[in-house]
Amino acid sequence: MANIPTWLPVVALALFDSRGRMLMQRRPAGRHHAGCWEFPGGKVEALETPREALVREIAEELGLSLDASALAPAHFADDQGARPLVLFLYTSNQAVGRPASLEGQEWAWLTPDEAGERDLAPLDRVLLSGLAK
């Protein structure tokens, strides 16, 4: 039998600035969890590694260049619902460029406390609480 995963791999980034704030964005209208805040990222596509997917997603969404080797694995969260997925969080404190809203999304630099006060997508809330430990 072919080794095809039955779950969706998704990657996300906690990009920190020099003041300890994280770059977060708001999911646009029309998407699952629209209006909720999240760590930027997205689905890992066929033939991509998780790091390659994250470098691609951050360039597509925010116009920032990441060094895949400088990404640090942090932790993960999963959803065992009708569409099982695992969301893997990486951290970094280096990116080249200035954030741009390339998909029309709202974004902000938020401290972990400020992020916790926002309406977060469910798995992103799990990731945030793991980061704070």
Ligand X SMILES: Nc1nc2c([nH]c(=O)n2[C@@H]2O[C@H](COP(=O)(O)OP(=O)(O)OP(=O)(O)O)[C@@H](O)[C@H]2O)c(=O)[nH]1
**Chain contacts with ligand X (rule: CB under 6 A):** 10, 12, 31-33, 38, 42-43, 79, 85, 87, 121-124
Q: What are phi and psi for residue 83, nearest 5 degrees?
A: -120, 85
Q: How far is the CB of 31 from ligand X (least distance, A)?
A: 4
Residue 73 burial (10 A CB sphere; 0-12, 13-18, 19+): exposed
Query: Of 1 and 4, which has the nearer Cβ to ligand X?
Result: 4
Query: Of 33 and 118, which has the nearer Cβ to ligand X?
Result: 33
Query: Of 53 and 95, which has the nearer Cβ to ligand X?
Result: 53
Query: Of 79 and 114, which has the nearer Cβ to ligand X?
Result: 79
Among 119, 51, 56, which Cα is nearest to 89's?
51
Q: How far is the CB of 1 from ligand X (least distance, A)?
A: 25
**CA–CA dist 66, 42 (Å, integer):** 15
State which residue has the least CB distance to ligand X: 42
Written as one string, the DSSP assignment of 78-100 is: EE-SSS-EEEEEEEES--BS---
Distance of CA 99 to CAs 16, 17, 24, Å?
12, 12, 10
Q: How far is the CB of 101 from ligand X (least distance, A)?
A: 15
Q: How far is the CB of 37 from ligand X (least distance, A)?
A: 9
